């Protein structure tokens, strides 16, 4: 019973908090669907806009590789290339 009460309390706190999260609108372009589907599955897409002043094409390639190798993101090689290309073109410094 105690676990159930905790779960209900957590849901009551978490649901309104997630409802206030703003929608992140990324620039349109080839690969955007791969970014939204793969990157957005694990974290907010606002990280892309926050990091864009600091990353060039090599930096975005390294970030995508880190997400796959270090974080275990299940991204295919084809999707990784599309994601890196999209990020470098639209958010590269």
pLDDT for the residue 24: 86
40-78: pLDDT as tens digits: 999 999 999 998 889 999 999 999 999 999 999 999 999
pLDDT for the residue 18: 52
5-21: pLDDT as tens digits: 555 556 555 555 555 66
pLDDT for the residue 52: 87
> Which residue shows structure tokens 């995508």?
64
Higher pLDDT, 71 or 2: 71
pLDDT for the residue 59: 96
Question: In whole angstroms, what is the distance from residue 66 CA to residue 51 CA?
Answer: 15
Higher pLDDT, 25 or 22: 25
CA angle centred on 14, ends 52 and 45, rounded to 5°: 15
Phi-psi region at 30: left, alpha or beta (left = phi > 0; alpha = psi -120 to 50) = beta
Q: Would you call 1 helix, strand, or coil by DSSP?
A: coil
Closest listed residue to residue 77, CA positions, set 29, 38, 33, 30: 38
The whole model's pTM is what?
A: 0.76
Q: Which domains does the chain have, with CATH numbers?
A: 26-91 (1.10.760.10)
């Amino acid at each position: 019973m105690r676990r159930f009460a905790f779960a209900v309390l957590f849901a009551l706190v978490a649901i309104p908090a997630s409802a206030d999260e703003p929608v992140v609108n990324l620039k349109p372009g080839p690969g955007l669907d791969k970014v939204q589907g793969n990157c957005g599955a694990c974290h907010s897409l606002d990280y892309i806009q926050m990091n864009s002043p600091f990353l060039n094409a090599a930096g975005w390639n390294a970030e995508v590789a880190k997400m796959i190798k270090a974080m275990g993101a299940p991204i295919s090689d084809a999707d990784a290339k599309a994601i890196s290309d999209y990020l470098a073109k639209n958010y590269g410094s």
